[in-house]
A and B are shown apart, each in its own frame.
Chain A
Amino acid sequence: MRAEIFQAIRSKLLLDTVLTSYIGEEQVFRSKPGAIITLPAVTLQPNSESSVVRAGYNNSKVRDNNPVLQVGVWVSANADGFPCSGEDADVIVGRIDAILLDAASPIPGTSGWMKVTSSQQYEGDTGLWHNAARYSFRYSVIDS
């Protein structure tokens, strides 16, 4: 995924005051397993990405990319208050859905957002609730 698209997604999430009221300022990171981060947090991990040249590519040089973005929501069950449960993690994912799937206010340069999967796990040894949601979307690039 292009860096500017990734950054636009991160910025859009961080600009949402409801989401930041849940997780705090600057709590959206690129996923780096093993990295120590303050919880609660949201991580972004690009999964697969396909790219198809558009008809007339020889002249226009336009390609349409179709990436899948994995969004992780991490909540500690040991926290004193919200968010500290699987249900709280669901609330955060619900807000992320509202931000990313808002067709009236799309992330600049992107379109066609769809949620494709959603799951929840509890890590017993670390006491972490982890929701993983995946979204597919489209953006176009113009090759030089």
Chain B
Amino acid sequence: MVRILTPDELSAKLSRLSESQIPAIKEGMQAAVLNVEACARRNCTPGQSPYAKAPYSDDRDPHREPPHMRDTIEGTVVVEGTAVRGIVGTPKHYALPVHEGTSRMEARPFIMDAIKEKEEETRAILSKALEESLRRECV
């Protein structure tokens, strides 16, 4: 069935649409964040890391309190108004020098590389979530 809307009705419907899609996009973002998080953890795993030396410390290193940085990488989703943000990070204080490098240590951007590697998959996950939600809304 085709329904013809006035400009005001169309404007109202589109306005409602942008807000009604947020839960679906949030759900999609949660899946995308998990995907990036897994990749970032893999980047810190010896034998699977793309770097010559995986950022994974020796268990006997006195300067490294357990758990390993790899095991503290976590993602979260924040919704602010109509903006949905996915965040992947680690609370370890030495994560930034590892990620950005120092004068004596090469950068190993384990999170940035994960974001780039999963960029297409992130787009696909978010597109699918939005598409399915729009279909439910419009059909």
A residues touching B (Cβ–Cβ < 8 Å)?
A: 31, 33-34, 45, 47-48, 50, 66, 68, 70, 72, 74, 116-117, 119, 121, 123, 126, 128, 130, 132, 134, 136
B124 near A: Cβ within 8 Å?
Answer: no
CB distance from A72 to the nearest CB of B (A): 7
The interface residues of chain A, by DSSP majority, are classed as strand
What class of interface size applies to chain B in its complex with A?
A: 10 to 19
Cα–Cα, bound, A119→B103 (Å): 15
Choose one: A33, A66, A134; the contact of B106 (CB below 8 Å): A33
CB closest residue in chain A, given B105? A33
Residues of chain B contacted by A68 (CB below 8 angstroms): 109, 112-113, 116
Q: List 21 A-B contacts (CB under 8 A).
A: A31-B106, A33-B102, A33-B103, A45-B106, A45-B107, A47-B107, A47-B109, A48-B112, A48-B113, A48-B117, A50-B116, A50-B117, A50-B119, A68-B109, A68-B116, A70-B109, A72-B101, A119-B96, A128-B103, A130-B103, A132-B107
CB closest residue in chain B, given A72? B101
Please provide the chain B residues from 19 to 40 with a CB less than 8 Å away from any CB of chain A in the complex.
none
B100 near A: Cβ within 8 Å?
Answer: yes
B residues touching A (Cβ–Cβ < 8 Å)?
A: 50, 96-97, 100-107, 109, 112-113, 116-117, 119
Whether the pair B101, A31 counts as a contact (CB closer than 8 A) is yes
Whether the pair B107, A74 counts as a contact (CB closer than 8 A) is no
CB closest residue in chain B, given A119? B100
Query: Known interface pairs A47-B109, A121-B97. Does A74 touch B103 (Cβ–Cβ under 8 Å)?
Result: yes
Choose one: B102, B104, B112, B119; the contact of A47 (CB below 8 Å): B112
CB closest residue in chain B, given A45? B107
Residues of chain A contacted by B117 (CB below 8 angstroms): 48, 50
Cα–Cα, bound, A68→B107 (Å): 13
